[in-house]
């Protein structure tokens, strides 16, 4: 089966970049990305894309209007499609049964209901968002209602891209995973999807599994990564008390080939749209199966992550003589990690809330995420200023709290910053980005995480 027309429903962080790369790598395939939010569509058609990803602009420039289109959804889109990727949002439920834990599948379900009457025979529907185990089955039930099963194949194809490196991850993925059913039609559909990826991904990196395993593998990968970061974070407090250095520990354990060096960077806690959501989802699935001990294990990762963020916020208050009321505290970095404007579940939100409760005057600076920061903190009481220039942000400040390790922050002139700050000047490095000894030499009282503090007090 040869795919000529691809439709993607949902032009978000997953749908937009992944379809742009497919369009770029497969010039003979027409890719249409639709979104119910007309503003999103307009942004994708403008010079300022709604998603900030290094390398994305160039690809969109190359392909948009050639074989890549961003549009508002119509039944004709569905009719024309050989393959439909669904990458609508699947946030954590905020109401009813499973609130705060289970995935909210209303967008997925309404998409399936909308697609069903318009899909042509032999169409392939690909589940592209992170969704809990057995969703594909539920979606297939909706799609197959009233229609013979062989009419529409449902595949699971989880996206493993990380934000900030989305284009590299899409162009050179560690693996592509395709979950499919046993029928000949399902197997042919899986092959057709593999053929799309084979335009640029070596065949041996395209893995096949059952639909359930594919869905669960996505949750498992994120849960393992988050748990690994959390394991390192739990060691930071011990390091601070015993004068060990968490970076040296990461280096030492990372040299063990069985462990490997990546994702061992301790910090204020993980954020982003996936880790917390997926772990809570996994815990919920365990509980649904009566696996309470397993559920508690995974849930503890989220609890410890919040604990680490709170510990950092408490440190900022405690070290400044137990009070930040009325003090100007500058937050260096609001995005959940560098290289993105995304602030979903960013630890900075939790840190800011905590400091506002302590009546600090906050100044937020971030190279990309100030607009989102403004939305995230809207309605919170207290003084908050948003300042793109880190030098202006730090002028007159009592303390700097580095929450996101943007390389820009490492390149600043800290002598200049120190000169403009209130004294004693405090610097809390929540990502161990900066050279603590050098900053201490300039006069700062420096508090890294998982390393000894360097103070003049």
Q: Which residues are catalytic?
A: 274
* Cβ atoms 8, 87 nearer than 8 A: yes
- As a residue count, the chain comes to 457
H helix runs in 31-183, sequence order = 38-44, 56-63, 75-80, 106-115, 135-144, 166-171
Geometric angle at alpha carbon 102, from 357 and 207, rounded to 5°: 120
The window from 28-36, 57-65, 166-174, 402-410 that contacts ligand ADP (CB under 6 A) reads 28-36
* Six token digits for residue 55: 């390398």
Q: Which residues pair with 71 in a beta bridge?
A: 34
Residue 82 C-beta: closest distance to ligand UDX, Å: 26
222 forms part of the interface with ligand UDX (CB under 6 A): yes
Q: How far apart are CA 395 and CA 242, in angstroms?
A: 34
CB of 162 to ligand UDX, least distance (A): 4
Q: Is 273 in the site for ligand ADP (CB under 6 A)?
A: yes
- Contact between 207 and ligand UDX by CB under 6 A: the answer reads no
CA atoms lying within 13 Å on the CB side of residue 174? 7
277 binds ligand UDX (CB under 6 A): no
* 106 near ligand ADP, rule: CB under 6 A: no
- What does the per-residue mask of binding to ligand UDX show for 135-164, with x meaning CB under 6 A? ------------------------xxxxx-
Q: Measured from the CB of residue 274, what is the shortest distance to ligand UDX in angstroms?
A: 3
For the bound state, the minimum distance from the C-beta of residue 115 to ligand ADP, rounded and expressed in Å, comes to: 9
Binding of residue 240 to ligand UDX (CB under 6 A): no
Pick the binder of ligand ADP from 5, 111, 365, 432 (CB under 6 A): 111
- Smallest separation (angstroms) from ligand ADP to the CB of 86: 9
Q: Which does 212 bind (CB under 5 to 8 A by kind): ligand UDX, ligand ADP, none?
A: none
**Does residue 19 belong to the site contacting ligand UDX (CB under 6 A)?**
no
**Residue 103 sits in the site that holds ligand UDX (CB under 6 A):** no
Which one of 31-39, 46-54, 263-271, 304-312 is the stretch in contact with ligand UDX (CB under 6 A)?
Answer: 263-271
- Pairing of β 176-179 and β 445-448: unpaired
Q: Does 253 bind ligand UDX (CB under 6 A)?
A: no
The yes or no reply on residue 15 touching ligand ADP (CB under 6 A) is: yes
What mask of x and - would describe binding to ligand UDX in positions 282 to 321, judged by CB under 6 A? ----------------------------------------
The count of C-alpha atoms lying within 13 angstroms of the C-alpha of 346, restricted to the half-sphere facing its C-beta, is: 31
> Closest CB to ligand UDX among 15 and 267?
267
Position 265 contacts ligand UDX (CB under 6 A): yes
Among 5, 8, 10, 166, binds ligand ADP (CB under 6 A): 10
Structure tokens that stand for 216 in this block: 């669960």
How many residues touch ligand UDX under the rule CB under 6 A: the total is 19
DSSP letters, 90-103, are: -PBP-SSTTTTTSB
29 vs 433, which CB is nearer to ligand UDX? Answer: 433
Q: Which residues contact 288 (CB under 8 A, 6 or more apart)?
A: none
Order the strands of the 328-332 sheet from edge to edge: 384-386, 361-365, 328-332, 399-402, 426-429, 445-448
Q: What would the x/- binding string for ligand ADP be over residues 128 to 147, using CB under 6 A? A: -x------------------
Using the minimum distance from each CB to ligand UDX, give the nearer residue, 22 or 152: 22
Closest to 237 in 3D by CA, of 317, 329, 310:
310
Element (H, E) at 50: none
Query: Is there a contact between 229 and 270 (Cβ–Cβ < 8 Å)?
Result: yes
CA proximity to 428, closest of 457, 406, 449, 456: 449
**85 three-state secondary structure:** strand
Gap between the Cα atoms of 25 and 68, Å rounded: 11
Q: Are strands 68-71 and 30-34 parallel, antiparallel or unpaired?
A: parallel
264 binds, among ligand ADP, ligand UDX, none (CB under 5 to 8 A by kind): ligand UDX
Is 6 one of the binding residues for ligand ADP (CB under 6 A)? no
H helices within 337-413, ranges in order?
A: 347-357, 370-377, 390-394, 407-410
Could you say whether residue 73 binds ligand ADP (CB under 6 A)? Answer: yes
Contact 363, 331 (CB under 8 A): yes
Evaluate whether 28 touches 288 at the Cβ level (below 8 Å). no
Chosen from ligand ADP, ligand UDX, none, partner binding at 270 (C-beta under 5 to 8 Å by type):
ligand UDX
- Rounded distance, CA 305 to CA 271, Å? 9
> Would you count residue 179 as binding ligand ADP (CB under 6 A)?
no
Question: Which residues would be at the binding site for ligand UDX (CB under 6 A)?
Answer: 159-163, 222, 225, 229, 263-265, 267, 270-272, 274-275, 336-337
Binding footprint of ligand ADP on the chain (CB under 6 A): 9-15, 34-37, 40, 73, 87-89, 107, 110-111, 129, 273
């Amino acid at each position: 089966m040869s795919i000529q027309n691809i439709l993607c429903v949902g032009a978000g962080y997953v749908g937009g970049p992944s379809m742009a790369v497919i369009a770029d790598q497969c010039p003979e395939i027409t890719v249409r990305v639709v979104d119910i939010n007309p503003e999103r569509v307009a942004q994708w058609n403008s010079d300022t894309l709604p998603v900030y990803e290094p390398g994305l602009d160039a690809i969109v420039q190359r392909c948009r209007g050639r074989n890549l289109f961003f549009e508002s959804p119509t039944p004709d889109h569905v009719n024309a499609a050989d393959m439909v990727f669904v990458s609508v949002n699947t946030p954590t439920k905020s109401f009813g049964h499973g609130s705060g834990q289970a995935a909210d599948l209303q967008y997925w379900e309404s998409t399936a209901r909308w697609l069903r009457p318009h899909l042509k025979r032999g169409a392939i529907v690909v589940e592209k968002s992170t969704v809990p185990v057995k969703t594909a089955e539920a979606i297939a039930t909706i799609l197959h209602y009233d229609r013979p099963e062989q009419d529409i194949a449902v595949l699971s194809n989880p996206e493993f891209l990380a934000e900030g490196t989305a284009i590299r991850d899409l162009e050179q993925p560690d693996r592509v995973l395709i979950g499919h059913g046993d029928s000949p039609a399902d197997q042919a559909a899986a092959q057709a999807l593999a053929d799309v990826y084979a335009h640029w991904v070596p065949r041996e990196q395209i893995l096949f599994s059952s639909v359930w395993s594919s869905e669960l593998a996505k949750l498992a990968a994120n849960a393992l990564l988050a748990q690994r970061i959390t394991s390192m974070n739990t060691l930071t407090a011990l390091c601070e008390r015993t004068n060990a250095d968490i970076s040296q520990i990461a280096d030492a354990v990372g040299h063990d080939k069985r462990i490997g060096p990546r994702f061992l960077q301790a910090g204020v806690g993980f954020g982003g749209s996936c880790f917390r959501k997926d772990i809570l989802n996994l815990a919920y699935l365990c509980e649904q199966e009566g696996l309470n001990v397993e559920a508690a294990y995974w849930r503890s990762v989220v609890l410890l992550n919040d604990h680490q963020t709170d510990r950092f916020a408490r440190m900022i208050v405690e070290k400044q003589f137990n009070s930040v009321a009325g003090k100007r505290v500058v937050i260096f970095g609001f995005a959940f990690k560098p290289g993105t404007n995304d602030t979903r579940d960013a630890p900075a939100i939790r840190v800011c809330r905590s400091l506002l409760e302590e009546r600090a005057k906050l100044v937020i600076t971030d190279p990309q995420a100030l607009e989102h920061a403004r939305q995230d903190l809207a309605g919170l009481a207290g003084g908050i200023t948003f300042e793109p220039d880190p030098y202006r942000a730090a002028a007159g400040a009592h303390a700097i709290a580095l929450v996101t390790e943007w390389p820009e922050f490492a390149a600043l002139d800290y002598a200049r910053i120190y000169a403009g700050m209130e004294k004693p000047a405090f610097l809390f490095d929540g990502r161990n980005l900066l050279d603590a000894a050098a900053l201490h030499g300039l006069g700062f009282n420096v508090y890294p995480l998982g390393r000894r503090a360097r103070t003049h007090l």
